[in-house]
Amino acid sequence: MNPPDDDQLRELLPRLRRFAVSLTQSPSDADDLVQSTLEKAISHWQRRRPGGDLRAWLFSILYRQFIDSRRRAGRYARLMQLFTGEPQTSASAEDIVVANATWEAFDRLPPEHRALLMLVSVEGLSYREVSKTLDIPMGTVMSRLSRARRSLRELDEGEPREKRPAPSLRRLK
């Protein structure tokens, strides 16, 4: 296996940053995430599947790093709560997003839905590639995609799901 090709990585850098921003919703956090992704990719270059899609491989590292950091943050928050007896006062990025109604509907989706829509709609990955990248079964990709698109619609229209009649399309499955 060849050593990391800097040009290949540089070429994919804007897409990685874009995916990272969609997940972290903060440009500086996104760049931190991209940096840790590239560090991991360079040091784990030997483990890369020969002939595999470099972009999908990098996206999968980035997504795992993001999920791991969220878990760590969650554990930290629980630990702090244990010591202080109070919920953490500094809200997570997620809470801020949800609270801020002026933000776009997409930003108010859960990160799992944002990741899926970014990879399918913006990056144009096939469902199978998305399944591998996010490490979820194909069935989950399809059901999550359906939920993500419907949630996005509802948020965009400002209507909570409960008030809407169940779409007839759901009965087709």
Partner 1 sequence: MNPNRPTEQDLHAYLDDQLDAERRQWVSTWLQANPERAAELEAWRRDTQHLRARYANPEQWPANASLDPAAIRRRQRAGQRRWLATAAMLVMTLGIGLTGGWTVRDMMNPASPPPMADAVQAYRLFTDSVSFDGNTAIDGNTTINGNTAIDGNSVVGVSDTAVPEPGANSREKIVKLFQAHFSDGIMPPDLSAAGLEMTDARLLATDQGPAAMVVYRDRTGRQMMMYIRPPGVGHHMLEPGKRVDGQLMAQYWSKGNYNYAVVSQPDDPNAAMLEEMLRES
Residues that bind partner 1 in the complex, under the rule CB under 8 A: 4, 6, 9-10, 13-15, 17-18, 21-22, 31, 34-35, 38-39, 42-43, 104, 106, 117-118, 120-122, 126-127, 142, 145-146, 149, 152-153, 156, 167-170, 172-173
Whichever of 91 and 122 has its CB closer to partner 1, that residue is: 122
Shortest reach from residue 101's CB to partner 1, in Å: 18
Whichever of 60 and 152 has its CB closer to partner 1, that residue is: 152
Task: Report which of 110, 152, 145 is spatially closest to residue 128, judged by C-alpha positions.
Answer: 145
Shortest reach from residue 84's CB to partner 1, in Å: 34
CA contacts within 13 A on the Cβ side of 23:
28
Whichever of 40 and 64 has its CB closer to partner 1, that residue is: 40
Task: Report which of 89, 16, 25 is spatially closest to residue 55, judged by C-alpha positions.
Answer: 16
Alpha-carbon span 167 to 5, nearest angstrom: 48
**Alpha carbon 77 to its chain's center:** 21
